[in-house]
Every structure is written in structure tokens, then in C-alpha cells.
Amino acid sequence: MLAPDNSPLKKTPLHALHLARGAKMVPFAGYDMPVQYVAGVLKEHLHTRSQAGLFDVSHMGQLTLRAKSGKVADAALALERLVPQDILSVAPGRQRYAQFTNSDGGLLDDLMVANFGDHLFVVVNAACKEDDEAHLRANLSDTCEIVSLAERALIALQGPKAESALAKFCADVGSMKFMDAGPRRVGDIDCFVSRSGYTGEDGFEISVPSDKAESLVTALLDNPDVLPIGLGARDSLRLEAGLCLYGHDIDTTTTPVEGALEWSVQKARRGGGARAGGFPGADNILAQFAHGAARRRVGLRPEGRAPVREGALLFADATSADPVGKVTSGGFGPSLNAPVAMGYVPTSLSTVDTTVFAEVRGQRLPLKVAATPFVPNTYKR
């Protein structure tokens, strides 16, 4: 199998385990990844919502950012030169969602940043990880040491029984709250554990040395509450949770305000804040905070049973010739037994219950603008 650039597909440290468990493999972000297992996408999705699902996300990029001064605050302030988030206030043992922005305020990638006490631990998207590392080195090497953790795997354990499954190997997890993060001993393995994920469910992401990944995953899967879950259910779970997929719902042409991510930009970095601006595209982003943006990402609920897929054009009414937006993610929501989607519409059409129309196979299908998440999250606060 080849990646889009005709190079051989990379394999995660869990590749042999996926094959042994009957996974259907597909190319994704340059890797050979499991899209589903024997149970199938629907059962994998519902099992994660009711019990616990285990995901291989080792294709993601993992890095550390350490200030040459030795002070984690200096690493945080350095990273704030590249993101609109307040990194300085992330306490040791905590994690925050952030975005790299470009000079227009568009999003180069979204990422997770954790304070490990004396340095920052950063997780970035698979398709962007080489560019993200280069971006960090080009801009922060004057004050920080950037280290790629290519020798580590990353797994996610998600669902209402994730805590009980992981607690058998790490008693500490019971005391962790949503977005707590740091080094933890899992069994006899030194790991990095965060209470976070990409499904809307309570759960954990676990960074583990590559040579220990298969033994840890095998031990977790020995629990009948835990099933391996592929990319298919990962996508339907995150869509029901109203979570953005980089390169689809957000990209270099969308700002945090257009992407309905205002919640992720803390007051300290907004106009009038203690460290307002100072990141790429700040003028445009802060102007949108003050005056609004012309368009906005919204949830969409098709009124019929037919899913409306990514790329479908959106119209203000059933007869207008010119589209006003498009769907960026769409599919069937197994937890809802109904189709769901997200997309961009003019801000004037972004109010909940506004009707817009998608063009699907030559027909105009009505959709209602809907609040997200479509399925309430169950994070442990």
C-alpha cells in the first residue's frame, strides 16, 4: 500500500495487533490504519458509548517543549507567540486545547498542550506533524528545545467504563479530572496519561513507549468491557460530539471565531486582556471577536433519514441558485439513529432551528441548524 505521495504507508507499533484481530486496514495520514474490526462500525460506536473503546492514535505527533532557561513559564510564553490561547495559566498537571494560527488568522493545526511541571508536552495531528515541528523549530528554537517523541505510541481509552478498565493498572486515574495530564505508572510502564479524548465520552489518552504498547493494549483488551475501535467509529463518535476534524471542519481558511471555537481563546489573549494579541493573525481574529465573522460553523440535523456528506453545498432556500455554504462533516449518528452534520453558513443563518437546504444528488434536502454537541458529553469535571 502507498501513501498519496507514493511512499510506502507507515505502520504504528500496534499494526500487527490490528491484523491479528481482523481489522480492515486503510490508508490514513500516510499510515496503514484500522477503519473497523470484526464487530463493524455501528457496534464499535455503540460499545464506546455504553462501555469502553480502545483506539490506536499512534499516528499523531508527540513533542516536548522545554525552555532553555529551565522555566516552564518561559516555554509557555514562547508557545503563546504561535497560538491564541493562554498557555501561561495552564497549571502543572493540566492540559489545554490550542491552535496554531497563520498571518491571516487561519488555523495551521489544532493541538493539545500539557504542563508537565518543568516542560510542555504537545500532541498534534498526524497529517500536520512534520509541518508543526518545523513551525516550532523555526519560531521557538531561540528560547526552547523541541524534541520529537517518535519512539512513543499513543492510545485512547474512551467510554463510561474506561476508568474502571484503566484503574486495574493505574490506581491514580480515579482521582483525575477532565484535562488532567501528566506522567503515570500504568502497570509496570512509565506512561503519560491525560483524562481527555475525541469522542465526547469520559476517557483517557495514554502515551506509551513503542516497545511496550502491544503488551499494554493486549492487557486492556483482555477486559470484556473493552473493544478495539477503528477510524470509522472514531469519526462518527467525534461528529456526534460536535468536535472538529482538522482539514475538514477547520483549516487554513477558517479562524477560531468562524469555527465557533471562541471558547478556546481565554480572556488574557483577547482585546483588553493581560497578554492580548501577539500571535499570528491576531488583528483579524481579535477584530472578529469584537465585530463578529461573516460565517460560522454550525451543527446541522437533516430532516429526513438520508445522511448529508462532506462537500454538499448549502442554500438559503429550496430554489436559490447560489450556495451560501457547505457541509464539512456529515454522516449517520448511531447514538441518535439519525443523520448529523456540521458545516459553514452565513452568521445571519446560524441561529438554532434555522432551515437551510443541502443539494444531494440533484435534490434540495432541508436541514435544521442545531446546537452541538448532538450527544451530551460525559467528561468527569
Query: What pLDDT is stored for residue 5 in this prediction?
Result: 62
Out of 2-11, 192-201, 218-227, 296-305, least confident range: 2-11
Query: What pLDDT is stored for residue 164 in this prediction?
Result: 98
Query: What pLDDT is stored for residue 1 in this prediction?
Result: 56
pLDDT digits (tens, 9 = 90+) for 242-254: 999 999 999 999 9
pLDDT digits (tens, 9 = 90+) for 165-212: 999 999 999 999 999 999 999 999 999 999 999 999 999 999 999 999
pLDDT digits (tens, 9 = 90+) for 39-68: 999 999 999 999 999 999 999 999 999 999
Query: What pLDDT is stored for residue 357 in this prediction?
Result: 98
pLDDT digits (tens, 9 = 90+) for 210-225: 999 999 999 999 999 9
Query: What pLDDT is stored for residue 3 in this prediction?
Result: 59
Q: Residue 336: left if φ>0, alpha if ψ -120 to 50, beta else—which one?
A: alpha
284 pLDDT higher than 90: yes
4 pLDDT higher than 80: no
Residue the block writes with cell 507514493: 6
- For 67, what's the count of Cα atoms within 13 Å in the CB-facing half-sphere? 17
H helices of 119-225, in order, are 129-140, 162-167, 210-221
Residue range 17-45: average pLDDT?
98
- Give the 3-state secondary structure of residue 286: helix
Query: What pLDDT is stored for residue 187 in this prediction?
Result: 97
pTM above 0.85, yes or no: yes
For residue 259, what are the CA distances in angstroms to 247, 292, 295? 12, 12, 9
2 pLDDT higher than 90: no
d(CA 365, CA 355): 10
115 pLDDT higher than 80: yes
Please give the mean pLDDT across all residues of the chain: 97
Query: What pLDDT is stored for residue 348 in this prediction?
Result: 98
Query: What pLDDT is stored for residue 7 in this prediction?
Result: 80
271 pLDDT higher than 60: yes
pLDDT digits (tens, 9 = 90+) for 364-374: 999 999 999 99
d(CA 99, CA 375): 24
Q: β-strands 52-56, 226-228: how paired? A: parallel
Residue range 148-162: average pLDDT?
98
Instruction: Look at the chain and count its residues.
Output: 381
For 218, which DSSP code?
Answer: H
For residue 303, what are the CA distances in angstroms to 48, 153, 162, 243, 334? 26, 41, 34, 21, 16
Query: What pLDDT is stored for residue 106 in this prediction?
Result: 98
